[in-house]
C-alpha cells in the first residue's frame, strides 16, 4: 500500500476567521482537501482554499443510521490516503469534539501505517464560555451528549455547571431533517433534570454565532419551560450550578488554607 498521510483540522465556529494558521498550512500543503461543514456557505468557502476539494456532506442521507453515515465518511477520507496522497480533512468547529469520524479516520490511518494527526481548533464550547461569561474552572463543568446523558444517567453534581449537547435530536440514532428536528423528548430531559434541580432553575439554550456579523443565540428560561423553547438545530443546553460545594475542613487544614 502506498504511504499516504492524513491531517484532520477544524474550521472553528465563525466562518472564515477562526481557522488557525496551523490548519491553513495543512490545507495548503495537502494534495486533496475533504471537508464537512454545517452549511453550504462554509463548504463553498473551503472549496475556494484548495484546487482539489471534496464535500463529505453528500454522505448524510436523512433516515440513514449515523453509524452507516460515519463509516462512509471515514472510508471517503481514507481512500486517497491509501492511494499515497497527502490528505487534509476539515470539520466544522473542533475536529475532535463531537466528530466521531475524525477520530476513527486517524485511528485507522495509523493502524494501516500512514502518518495521521489531528490539530486543535475552536469549538462551540469555547464560544459558550466567552458568550455566557462563565469560567469552567470556577465551579467545574460536566459535559454530555443529551441522549447519552439520559441513557447512562450519570450522577449530577449540582454545584458544578452542566453542558448538554444535541438537545434537538434526543433519542434519534439516524440522520434527521433539520426542518423536522426531534424535540419531542425535551420533556423527558426536563423530567430527569428536575430530579436534581428545581423546575424554576434558570438555564440557557445556546448556539454559537456562525458568522462574525451576527450575535450568538442566547435564550434564558426556566428549566420547566425548556420543552416550549423551540431550540435551533445546533442548540446546546447550559445548566448553571444550583448549589455551592462546601470546603473539606480536613483538607483545608492540611493545605494550610483558611476559610471565611
> What is the tens place of the pLDDT at every residue in 85-118?
999 999 999 999 989 999 999 999 999 999 999 9
Q: Residue 91 in contact with residue 36, Cβ under 8 Å? A: yes
- Given 70, 98, 144, 211, the catalytic residue: 70
C-alpha cell at 36: 464537512
- Given 44, 60, 61, 66, the catalytic residue: 66
Residue with cell 480536613: 250
Q: Looking at residues 171-182, what average pLDDT do you find?
A: 76
Give the closest residue to 13 by CA, choosing from 122, 102, 131: 122
Please calculate the CA angle 131-146-118 and round it to the nearest 5 degrees.
70
**How confident is the model at residue 260, as a pLDDT?**
62
Q: Looking at residues 14-26, what average pLDDT do you find?
A: 95
129 is catalytic: no
Looking at the domain 5-118, which fold is it? Cobalt-precorrin-4 Transmethylase; domain 1 (3.40.1010)
pLDDT in tens, 50-91: 999 999 999 988 889 989 999 999 999 999 999 999 999 999
Q: Where are the domains of the chain?
A: 5-118, 124-239
C-alpha cell at 259: 476559610
211 is catalytic: no
- Given 92, 197, 206, 238, the catalytic residue: 92
Percent of the chain with pLDDT over 70: 97
Q: How far apart are the first and last CA of the chain?
A: 66
70 is catalytic: yes
pLDDT exceeds 80 at position 169: yes
Report how far apart, in Å, the C-alpha atoms of 130 and of each of 11, 88, 135 are: 18, 29, 8
pLDDT in tens, 69-80: 999 999 999 999
Query: In whole numbers, what is the pLDDT of the chain averaged over residues?
Result: 94
pLDDT exceeds 70 at position 7: yes
CATH for 124-239, among 2.60.40.10, 3.30.950.10, 3.50.50.60, 3.40.50.300?
3.30.950.10
Amino acid at each position: 500500500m502506498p504511504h499516504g498521510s492524513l491531517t484532520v483540522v477544524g474550521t472553528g465556529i465563525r466562518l472564515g476567521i477562526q481557522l488557525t494558521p496551523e490548519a491553513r498550512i495543512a490545507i495548503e500543503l495537502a494534495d486533496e482537501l475533504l471537508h464537512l461543514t454545517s452549511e453550504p456557505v462554509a463548504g463553498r468557502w473551503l472549496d475556494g482554499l484548495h484546487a482539489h476539494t471534496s464535500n463529505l456532506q453528500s454522505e448524510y442521507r436523512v433516515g440513514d443510521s449515523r453509524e452507516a453515515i460515519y463509516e462512509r465518511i471515514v472510508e471517503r477520507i481514507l481512500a486517497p490516503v491509501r492511494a499515497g496522497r497527502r490528505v487534509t480533512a476539515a470539520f466544522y468547529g473542533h475536529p475532535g469534539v463531537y466528530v466521531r469520524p475524525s477520530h476513527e479516520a486517524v485511528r485507522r490511518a495509523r493502524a494501516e501505517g500512514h502518518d495521521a494527526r489531528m490539530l486543535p481548533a475552536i469549538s462551540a464550547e469555547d464560544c459558550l464560555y466567552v458568550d455566557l461569561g462563565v469560567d469552567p474552572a470556577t465551579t467545574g463543568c460536566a459535559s454530555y451528549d443529551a441522549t447519552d446523558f439520559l441513557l447512562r444517567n450519570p450522577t449530577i453534581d449540582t454545584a458544578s455547571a452542566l453542558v448538554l449537547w444535541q438537545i434537538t435530536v434526543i433519542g434519534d440514532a439516524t440522520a434527521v431533517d433539520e426542518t423536522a428536528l426531534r424535540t419531542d423528548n425535551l420533556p423527558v430531559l426536563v423530567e430527569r433534570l428536575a430530579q436534581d434541580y428545581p423546575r424554576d432553575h434558570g438555564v440557557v439554550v445556546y448556539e454559537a454565532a456562525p458568522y462574525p456579523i451576527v450575535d450568538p443565540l442566547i435564550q434564558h428560561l426556566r428549566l420547566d419551560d425548556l420543552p416550549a423553547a423551540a431550540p435551533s438545530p445546533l442548540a446546546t443546553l447550559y445548566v448553571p450550578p444550583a448549589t455551592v460545594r462546601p470546603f473539606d475542613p480536613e483538607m483545608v487544614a492540611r493545605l494550610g488554607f483558611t476559610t471565611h
